Chains A and B, each alone.
Chain A
Amino acid sequence: MANSNLPRRIIKETQRLLSEPAPGISASPSEDNMRYFNVMILGPTQSPYEGGVFKLELFLPEEYPMAAPKLGRICLDILKDKWSPALQIRTVLLSIQALLSAPNPDDPLSENIAKHWKSNEAEAVETAKEWTRLYASGA
């Protein structure tokens, strides 16, 4: 059972995430696997994602914290070669939140959107707002 010998560090991190959540971020472990987190990040105010709720899945591999958490395809250096065991779930999620405030179109997941962003930022921002409203407005 994955939960039986959960390192103290993960338990402590989890407790802190639940008791003192970072503003706009919630992360709660799955009931049957304490290494698996359901994450919600609120779109930062004054960003096109404002009002949106963004869901993520985060998984702590066996080697954690010596290895980085697994978090889908996000181009973030601290999830790759810049990972350090002194970083935490909280710092990772804060970095992702910051990415929403200042998207980096030079390191995107979707080429088309980045292209759009660079050629016509105002229009791309409108699309982002629209899609946030359509697909990320809670529910």
Chain B
Amino acid sequence: MDSEDDMHDANDIESLDDDFYSGETEDAPLDYYSDYDDEADDYFEDADESDKIKSRRPEQNFTILRESDIEQRQEDDITRVSTVLYISRVDASILLRHYNWNVSQVHEAWFADEERVRKTVGLLDKPVVEFPNARELTCGICFENYPCSRIESAACGHPYCISCWEGYIGTSINDGPGCLMLRCPDPSCGAAVGQNMISLLASDEDKKKYSRYLLRSYIEDNKKTKWCPAPGCEYAVTFDAGNGNYDVSCLCSYCFCWNCTEEAHRPVDCGTVAKWILKNSAESENMNWILANSKPCPKCKRPIEKNQGCMHMTCTPPCKFEFCWLCLGAWSDHGERTGGFYACNRYEAAKQEGVYDESERRREMAKNSLERYTHYYERWASNQSSRQKALADLHQMQTVHIEKLSDTQCQPESQLKFITEAWLQIVECRRVLKWTYAYGYYLPEHEHAKKQFFEYLQGEAESGLERLHQCAEKELQQYLSADGPSKEFNDFRTKLAGLTSVTRNYFENLVRALENGLSDVDSNGAASSKATSSKNGAGSSKGRGGRGKGTSRINKMTDDSSWSCEHCTYANGASVNTCQMCRQQRR
């Protein structure tokens, strides 16, 4: 890209020393883009207003819940419903489970029509059958007679012996979370079997499973809560819809997207991420098998393998959605007029309109563009591993180096926070950069202007990050290995803190620009002139000798000792002679 030459401009590097490292902090964000040109100013229109930057930094609209918090909330909700409706806690729990733990929905439904709610949920207020004077009763499952003390019933009164109840409840619990909606064994009876029966009749192991399912249900059935998707993490998150920012960072340090529960992926949208991830795994046998043999449940999205004869599918509890295997529509929409189950007309019609063929054709095309994909994938993956490395370095920094540095440089650890912050920023930038490759992959080929501008921004981001990474890694080294305090250490602090701040701003702007779909770029090619004018603009700004504090920020991000790979444009650190991205030799 020809815009690179202004990036390496010597004047700009100088101006960096003049005003950039003079101790600006994040409270006074740098006017980072003002030197691009006027159009670039418009592009990131309010980059120079610190309060706006702050407001853009995500407000925390989520809360992390530990297991004890979850139990507490669940108990509180049960108490509320139990108190307001004047019903037992067991019944309140059944009701809440049925209404996906939505307290206000329970209240609403109950006060609208208590009878109906009782009937659907199975909360009987009096027994259906009664044997007031019986000394012995016949179990409805094993047909044996038992003294009444060996017989148990749900609220309906249908008598079953204790060992049949144990079998019934045990089977249900081991079948999965559907046991939370257990009913009386009598097929004509809908009486709910609640936790009181479970406590009485299940084995200790099964009781534990049941409580686990109940806890999981509180998180999984509730629209406002989810588990943290990190492996082994047992925290949950409750989320309040707000500013459209879905990023959540869990106490376990994993950052993920609330909306799609994939790893946090701003600036790329969830749909692109899903496509990309599917694509990445498409090569694996496993995925091929899932694609060929299963379809996701149209409601809960779990993959379903069809192993019975007819097209009438019923998802496993708790989902239980009934749908047509062919068109994936609700089974309730099927019947006479849609051609029934086997020759679903909806499917046939859609197939004729090319809907299904289209997706198959796309799959074909994707295969053909494997080469193009590999280009983006390698860069995506290498930023991913870079990020892992940075995470490890951050950890090393926090556990070992900071303490050591505090000793040698005679600085309190609180004064060394800028180093941790720099590394945290590197980790975050690697994440963003990684996702820009998925973004680039899906940027339509024909939108040349956007593509060009995107690649320019991406290239800048890469070189900026490289500079920060280099400073935090290499330049820090001399202070780590020093025997005593260095007088340059304060300069180093200013430099690294400044780089951190400038890189953060650049990436935040980049994220917003990409989230807006590079909307300022006219898809008909007007932006190619924009990209050019950007270059001219930068050129003229140095002619003007700099405009205010923010002059030529972007250019400062590239150190003259780093080099851009001629082959792939990746900005490499000075210490390497082979491109970190494409393995080409430096020329």
Contacts and interface: CB of A to CB of B under 8 A. Distances in A.
B142 A8 contact: yes
Contact of B168 (A8, A66, A75, A107): A66
Interface in B331-354: 334-336, 339-343
* Size bracket of the B interface: 20 to 34
Interface stretch (B11-19, B247-255, B309-317, B370-378): B309-317
Contacts of A78: 187
B164 interface: yes
Interface stretch (A27-35, A52-60, A82-90, A124-132): A82-90
A75 B342 CA distance: 13
Interface in A75-118: 75, 78, 80-82, 84-87, 105-109, 111, 114-115, 118
A107 B312 contact: yes
Contacts of B164: 85
A59 B260 CA distance: 45
B342 A66 contact: no
B5 interface: no
B141 A65 contact: yes
A22 interface: no
Contacts of B142: 7-9, 65
Given A65-B141, A114-B340, A115-B342, A75 B167 contact: no
Contacts of A75: 308-310, 312
Interface in A33-73: 63, 65-67, 73
* Size bracket of the A interface: 20 to 34
B144 interface: yes
Contacts of B317: 81
Contacts of B160: 86
Contacts of A65: 141-142
A85 B343 CA distance: 35
A115 B336 CA distance: 11
Contacts of B170: 66
B186 interface: yes
Nearest to B178: A81
Q: Which of B143, B158, B167, B168 has most chain A Cβ within 10 Å?
A: B143
Interface of B: 140-144, 158, 160, 164, 167-168, 170-171, 185-187, 308-310, 312, 314, 317, 320, 334-336, 339-343
Instruction: For the complex of A and B, list the 4 residue pairs with the smallest distance between their C-beta atoms, beginning with the closest.
Output: A86-B185, A111-B342, A66-B171, A106-B340
